[in-house]
């Protein structure tokens, strides 16, 4: 498959959500606009704020740089909201070849037992245009395979470098020049 076809596939698969940091908190981010697949409030921790992880599996391939945690409220609706306590989580791994991004993760959701035990195969890539005040989350359902990562990261790098995801800071609001696909 040539890159143009891959690029079109990635573009059609991508959902974009914009979150803004809540002042006075270390890691709380609230949804502002875009895709509402993830919970309205997320805890996005970085570096020293997360517990240490074992150096095995993906942790050997890419360094862990953060963690994303969220829990859906009763009124929220999402295909990820399947079993109580309706949690989503992932470690965030850095891809050294793409330093513009915070990192990527593959989402885990609450199972029937109430614990996050596996992963959905959904990929998230996080980007901050302004030192963690706002975070743009790129979500790709079913594309969490490490083999898809290079093409996704290459595509996102081109988008970010083109300036399409510059977030203009307004008092109490995160807004963006919205090139997202029908979100």
27-40 per-position pLDDT tens digit: 999 999 999 999 99
Q: How many CB atoms lie within 10 A of CB 164?
A: 15
φ, ψ of residue 57 in degrees (nearest 5): 60, -130
Task: Give helix then strand counts, H and E, for the chain.
Answer: 3, 11
Strands 14-21 and 28-34: antiparallel
pLDDT tens track for 62-98: 788 999 999 999 999 999 999 899 999 999 999 999 9
User: C-alpha dihedral over 45, 47, 50, 56, to 10 degrees?
Assistant: 120
- 173 within a domain of the structure (yes/no): no
- 94 within a domain of the structure (yes/no): yes
- 28 within a domain of the structure (yes/no): yes
- 90 within a domain of the structure (yes/no): yes
- 183 within a domain of the structure (yes/no): no
- 65 within a domain of the structure (yes/no): yes
Total domains in the fold of the chain: 1
- 141 within a domain of the structure (yes/no): yes
At residue 181, the pLDDT reads 39
- 168 within a domain of the structure (yes/no): no
pTM for the model: 0.85
Give start and end residues of each alpha helix (H) in the chain: 3-13, 58-61, 146-161
Residue-number span of the structural domain to which 76 is assigned: 3-162
Give the separation between CA 56 and CA 61, rounded to whole angstroms.
9
């Amino acid at each position: 498959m040539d890159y143009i076809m891959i690029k079109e596939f990635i573009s059609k698969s991508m959902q974009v959500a914009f979150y803004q940091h809540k002042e006075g908190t270390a890691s709380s981010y609230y949804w502002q606009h875009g895709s509402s697949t993830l919970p309205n409030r997320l805890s996005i921790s970085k570096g020293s704020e997360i517990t240490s992880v074992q150096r095995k599996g993906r942790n050997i391939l890419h360094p862990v740089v953060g963690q994303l945690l969220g829990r859906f409220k009763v009124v929220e609706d999402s295909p990820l909201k399947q079993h109580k306590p309706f949690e989503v989580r992932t470690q965030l791994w850095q891809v050294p070849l793409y330093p513009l991004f915070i990192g990527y993760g593959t989402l885990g959701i609450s199972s029937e037992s109430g614990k996050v035990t596996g992963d959905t195969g959904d990929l998230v890539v996080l980007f901050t245009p302004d030192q963690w005040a706002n975070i743009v989350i790129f979500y790709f359902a079913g594309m969490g395979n490490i083999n898809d990562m290079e093409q996704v990261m290459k595509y996102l790098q081109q988008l970010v470098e083109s300036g399409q995801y510059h977030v203009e800071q307004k008092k109490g609001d995160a807004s963006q020049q919205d090139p997202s696909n029908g979100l």
